[in-house]
Amino acid sequence: MTAAKDPPPQPAISAPILATSSVHMSGTAEARIMGSAVAGVSELMLFHPVDTIAKRIMTTESRLVVNSISGTAGNLNTAVFKDRAGAGSLTKFGSLFPGIGFGAVYKILQRVYKFGGQPVLKDWMKSRYGQSFETAFGHHGATTMLSATSGALIGIGEVVLLPLDALKVKAQTAPEQLKGRGVIDIFRTEGWSLYRGAGWTVARNAPGSFALFGGNKAAKIMMGVGEDGQRATWTQDAISSCAGATASIVVAQPLDIVKTRIQSRAFNSPESGVSIITNLLKNEGTGAFFKGLTPKLMVVGPKLVFSFTVAQHLIGYFTTTMKGF
């Protein structure tokens, strides 16, 4: 009697290319929070004066560059140091630290939310819509578009932190508006006016964050980095962060000018974004939309590159080291 043959083995069914796995390059929740928080604290300690300089240049409504070098230097000196323009070097440097308290709370919350939250949203979108993205954009295109789209959505939600950002900008550009006032008094008195410019902030954050995370992912793909479980080196994280940060700053600059000027105005003297744009075109010309872009790329760009690089690398590091816990 012939023994019955075993049925032939069934071929294994491979998972969809974009399906999620238990541990991603984007990290666990704890790793994301820790890595992003360290990045935020480090960025604040190193770059707050640089941020103050950029904000003061962007809120200066007069022309800074004139026909003479000495005149341009004088205008920049006044724009950056304001009433301390004639003081000594140490006093000038000390004047670049207003709003450090608001800046600390805002920057840490922002970086944890943005750098820690984007991977969470990206993973959720990948599990729900990954196959649709791959059909539309191809494998690598889908990876880039998922990163960019989730980044844009996270950027829109960042508007929740706008009051802290507004108070930081006022402290940096118009400290007299906050002099003698406590935080509780400001929130109680000003209320929803602290969300002034929310629409322009959303309009600026969405394309800026799209370019930041999309540019970063595209650069990693070009370097052959980015598949799940594959960690980038510090150099690769720095290069990809530089690509994303440059794209983000350039794309968001025109609306960042409008947003910053709205936030810098006195509480009792609001001005709409449309009015600011009209006056800007009339008095300063179209080039004013990119006022401060070069120094911003030189001084703010490294700040964003630094924090994004630190966040990405530490999230990957903490994810690996915490696997056994």
**Each residue of 150-202: pLDDT tens digit?**
999 999 999 999 888 888 878 777 777 777 777 788 888 888 888 888 888 89
The whole-angstrom separation of Cα 152 and Cα 215 is 12
Of 14 and 277, the structure prediction assigns the larger pLDDT to 277
Could you tell me the pLDDT band of residue 218, with boundaries at 50, 70 and 90? very high
Q: What is the pLDDT of residue 113?
A: 94
Q: Which residue has the tokens 């120094």?
A: 295
Supply 233's token pair.
């080196």
**308 and 39 Cβ atoms separated by less than 8 Å:** yes
**168 and 176 Cβ atoms separated by less than 8 Å:** no
> How far is the CA of 15 from the CAs of 62, 99, 135, 147, in angstroms?
59, 50, 15, 21
Beta-carbon count within 10 A of 313 CB: 20
The whole-angstrom separation of Cα 245 and Cα 250 is 9
Q: Is the pLDDT score of 131 beyond 80?
A: yes
The whole-angstrom separation of Cα 158 and Cα 201 is 9
In percent, the amount of the chain with pLDDT more than 90 equals: 30
The whole-angstrom separation of Cα 202 and Cα 158 is 8
CA-based R_g, the chain, Å: 23
Q: Which residue has the tokens 């960019």?
A: 148
Sign of the CA dihedral with 309 first, then 312, 315, and 321 last: negative
**277 and 204 Cβ atoms separated by less than 8 Å:** no
**59 and 260 Cβ atoms separated by less than 8 Å:** yes
Of 208 and 1, the structure prediction assigns the larger pLDDT to 208
**30 and 106 Cβ atoms separated by less than 8 Å:** no
Q: What is the pLDDT of residue 103?
A: 74
**103 and 161 Cβ atoms separated by less than 8 Å:** no
Supply 131's token pair.
């196959």
Range picked from 14-18, 82-86, 90-94, 241-245 for highest mean pLDDT: 241-245
Q: What is the pLDDT of residue 8?
A: 52
The three-state secondary structure class of 241 is helix
Q: What is the pLDDT of residue 325?
A: 58
137-160 exposure pattern, b = at least 16 Cβ within 10 A, e = fewer: eeeeebbbbbbbbbbbbbbeebbe
Q: What is the pLDDT of residue 148?
A: 96
Of 53 and 142, the structure prediction assigns the larger pLDDT to 142
Q: What is the pLDDT of residue 146?
A: 96
Q: Which residue has the tokens 């069934």?
A: 10
Q: Is the pLDDT score of 229 beyond 60?
A: no
Could you tell me the pLDDT band of residue 96, with boundaries at 50, 70 and 90? confident
Q: What is the pLDDT of residue 137?
A: 94
- Give the pLDDT mean for 262-271: 75
